[in-house]
Amino acid sequence: MEDLRHEWEAIRAEVIQAHPDFYELEPGGAIAMELGESGWMLELQPVARLLCQVGVDIEELRTLLSGNTAEDLSSDELQRVAKDHLRPSVRRYKAKLVEAGFAEGTEVEEEFMAITFEREIDFHDPAEINETIQWCRKVIV
């Protein structure tokens, strides 16, 4: 476990130096960057995972859907609408991401819902990590 933490700190520093657009999500934790104007985000995690994801703020979606009415949508309804909202953007990049070894998933939190594409990375191969980051930045615009 200590080895992985040391490797993470080294890779994290190298990636931030090579790609200054990355910012901390939490001190010492995952780092992320926006991918173009598409609303997509790239996240490098200390558990040797790289995520490309697009999401929506649940409260913003709730406000858009209900406006000034007192109607309260259930969590299931909001998640369904959020997936429908994200579907065109996901459809645009899904085939390329899957072909590149990313696995599709869904992340649902109280305030946020995202469609994720993740893949394992090798902290011992910084060149491959940088190539994958560059590839993601080129493909998702």
Which single residue is written with the structure tokens 């940088």? Answer: 130
User: Which DSSP letter does residue 105 get?
Assistant: E
Residue 12: pLDDT over 80: yes
Is residue 111 a contact partner of residue 58, using CB atoms and an 8 Å limit?
A: yes
Q: What is the mean pLDDT of residues 69-85?
A: 78
Indicate left, alpha or beta for 122 from its phi (over 0: left) and psi (-120 to 50: alpha): beta
Query: CA-CA distance, 67 to 91, in Å (whole number)?
Result: 28
Q: Count of alpha carbons within 13 Å of 88, Cβ hemisphere only?
A: 4
Q: For residue 69, what pLDDT band results from cuts at 50, 70 and 90?
A: low
pTM greater than 0.85 (yes/no): yes
Domains and CATH numbers, the chain: 2-139 (3.30.1460)
Higher pLDDT, 131 or 70: 131
Mind listing the pLDDT tens digit for each residue in 15-66? 999 999 999 998 999 999 999 888 999 999 999 999 999 999 888 887 777 7
State the pLDDT at residue 2: 67
Task: List, as own/partner pairs, every contact residues 34-43 make where C-beta atoms lie below 8 angstroms and the sequence separation is at least 24, other chains included.
Answer: 35/136, 35/137, 35/140, 35/141, 36/137, 36/140, 36/141, 37/141, 38/89, 38/140, 38/141, 39/89, 40/89, 40/93, 40/140, 42/133, 42/136, 42/137, 42/140
Residue 141: pLDDT over 90: no
Q: For residue 11, what pLDDT band results from cuts at 50, 70 and 90?
A: very high
Higher pLDDT, 58 or 123: 123
Mind listing the pLDDT tens digit for each residue in 86-117? 999 999 999 999 999 999 999 988 888 999 99
